[in-house]
Chain A
C-alpha cells in the first residue's frame, strides 16, 4: 500500500488507528485546539489525539448539557464523547483557548471524566509577560503528568520529541510548498485529509508516512495548465474534507489556508532553546488563533499588518485569486475578526466570500449556491 493510500485509510477510518494503539497498550491523550504541546505528551509516551467532531452525525445528546446556541463544533465533539466514541482516552487536556472550550471542558470533566483531566491556562495577550506566565502553566502541566504517570520528565527526551515534531512540520511545509504549482499536485481536500490523519497517531509513525508521501506527491504527473482560480481558506476547525471538496468541485483549487486544522497547527517550528520549556511556551503562545490578542499601536493599517501580515504573505506567495472565510456559527472570535480580515484582503485586491456554517453537512446546498456565485464572480464567466 502506498503512503497516499495508507493516509487516506487512516483518515477515512479514524479513530480506528488510535483504538488499535490503545489495544497495543499505548495511552491516549486527547486535547483540543493548537495550544497543547504535543511534544510534552510524546515525551511521556502518550499518543496525542486532537479531538474532533463529526459533522455527519447530528448532535442528539449534547443539548441536554449545553445550550444549542453554543459553538456547534464543541457540541459535536462532546456529543461524540457522550456516545462513547472517545472511550479510548486516558487523558484529556483542554486549553483555555476560547470560553467555549474552557467551559465545555468543565462540563466534560464532570460528566465524562477520564483518568487524567487537565485545564491548561493560556493567556490571551501575545507578549513577553504572557510567555513567562504560559511557561509556568506548561511546567504545571508537566508536574501533573509526572504525578499521574509516576514518571519524571526526561529533558533530553523532550528535546528529541521537539526535534521530531519540527521534522513533521518541515515535511508539511514542504507539501504546502508543492501546492504553489499550478495546478497543485495535491488538492486542498486531500491535504486536509492527510493533516487530519496525522492528528491521532504517534508523531514518529506520521513522520514516516509523510516522508514517503512527499516523494509520492513529487512524482505525480501534473496535468496541463489550469484555468481554475486558486483560493485561500480561513477559519477554525475543518476536520472533514466534504466542504473543501465542494469548493474544489465548483471549479477551484484550495491552495493555501489559515485553519487550526491546517497551516496554523504546524507552520512555525518550536525553537530549540536551552530550556525546552522556553521554546515551547513561545511557539505555542504565538499560534495566530483569533481568540488571542496582540499588542496594538492604535494605527489601523499597522495593526492589521501585524495581525494578518502572514496571511498577506501566504496569498501573494501562493498566487491566490480569492479567499473564503469559513466561520463556524457562534464562534465569536472568528465572527468578530472576520470583517477585519475581509477588509485587509480586499485592500490587497483579493475578493472575499464570508460563509457561516453550523458544522453540519445538512447545509451543503446553501453553501454550494454561495460558492458557485463567488466562483462565477471571480472567474468572470458570467
Chain B
C-alpha cells in the first residue's frame, strides 16, 4: 500500500444545440475546462460530428445534450431542457444566483433557481423576436456593424431612440426611417437595448424574480444590453466568463449527476 496515485479525472461533455450556434463544454471535477462554439444553420448532425472529431472522446465519462436541435441528432445521450441546463450551468459559477436570464438567438428565458440549481419556475418568451438575440442580428445588419460591436457602440449614444412598436420586424422599418431622418446608429442601438430590456423586465415580473440575477446566452456578451437590463431592474447583474456556453456546461453537469435513470422511471421519452 502507500504511494497512492492520482485517479484519472473524468471528463463530461455537454452540447447545446441552439438556434444560432452549437455550443460544447467540457466539464471535469465540477469545472469548465474547455468550451467552443460553432455556427449552425440547421445542420446539427454535421456540426456535432465535427465536434466529436475535434475532442478526445475515448476518456469521456458521458455526455448530456440540450437545445432546440436535439430532435435533429440521434445521439444516445440524456436530454435536458435548456431551462434546467442554464439553471445548473449558472449554479456552478454563481451558487447564490436566484434568477437566470438567458437571451438566446430565438427566445428569452427567465428561470428562478433554488438551492443546487433546481428549477423553481420559468417563463419563455413567445414567438416574438423583440426580446431575443434575433433583434440584435437584424439591427446589426441594417446598421452594417458586427454584432459584437453593438455593445460598444451603444455607449456612444446621446439620445436613445424610442421604438413605438413591440415587433422586431416593424422596428426594422422604424430604425431605417430614423436613420433616414439622421439619427445616429449609436442612438438606434441604445434604443434597441432599451426595448429588449423592457421585454425582459416583463418576463421577470411575471414570475416574481428575485436578486441576485445572472445573464447568460448570446445576449450576455453585449455589454450595452447588460447595462440596459441593469438600469431597468435597478440592480447589478453577474455574467459568467463565457455566457454563451452555460447551457452546454449545465447539460454536462446534469449528465454527470446521473439524473437520467430517475427520469426514465417517470416514463419520459426525452
- A382–B68 CB distance below 8 A: no
**Does B56 reach chain A (CB closer than 8 Å)?**
no
- B266–A381 CB distance below 8 A: yes
Q: Total contacts A to B, CB within 8 angstroms?
A: 76
Task: Return chain A residues, CB-CB under 8 Å to B120.
Answer: 377
Give chain A's interface residues, CB within 8 Å of chain B.
226-229, 249-252, 351, 356, 363, 365-366, 368-370, 372-377, 379-382
- A381–B262 CB distance below 8 A: yes
- The interface residues of chain B, by DSSP majority, are classed as mixed
- B267–A376 CB distance below 8 A: no
- B68–A365 CB distance below 8 A: yes
**Which of B84, B124, B263 makes the CB contact (< 8 A) with A251?**
B263
Query: Beta-carbon contacts of B215-243 to A below 8 Å, as 1s and 0s?
Result: 00000000000000000000000000000
**10 interchain pairs, CB-CB under 8 A:** A249-B268, A251-B267, A251-B269, A251-B270, A351-B121, A356-B126, A373-B124, A376-B84, A377-B121, A381-B263
Task: Return chain B residues, CB-CB under 8 Å to A366.
Answer: 68, 127
CA distance A283 to B254 in the complex (A): 52
Q: With A251-B269, A381-B259 in contact, is A373–B68 under 8 Å at CB?
A: no
Query: Beta-carbon contacts of B245-270 to A below 8 Å, as 1s and 0s?
Result: 00000000010010100110111111
Task: Return chain A residues, CB-CB under 8 Å to B266.
Answer: 227-229, 251-252, 375, 379, 381
- A382–B269 CB distance below 8 A: no
**Does B11 reach chain A (CB closer than 8 Å)?**
no
Residue among B80, B88, B268 with max Cβ neighbours from chain A (10 Å): B268
Contacts A228-B266, A373-B81, A381-B259 known; 5 new A-B pairs at CB < 8 A: A228-B267, A376-B84, A382-B80, A382-B119, A382-B257
A-B residue pairs, 10 tightest by C-beta: A251-B268, A373-B81, A373-B83, A251-B266, A382-B84, A377-B119, A372-B81, A381-B263, A381-B262, A376-B84
- B259–A377 CB distance below 8 A: no
**Does B118 reach chain A (CB closer than 8 Å)?**
yes
Query: Beta-carbon contacts of B64-86 to A below 8 Å, as 1s and 0s?
Result: 00001001000000011111100
CA distance A363 to B268 in the complex (A): 20
**Does B122 reach chain A (CB closer than 8 Å)?**
yes
Task: Return chain A residues, CB-CB under 8 Å to B82.
Answer: 369, 373
**CB of A69, distance to nearest CB on chain B (Å):** 12
Query: Beta-carbon contacts of B149-171 to A below 8 Å, as 1s and 0s?
Result: 00000000000000000000000
Q: With A377-B122, A382-B119 in contact, is A369–B265 under 8 Å at CB?
A: no
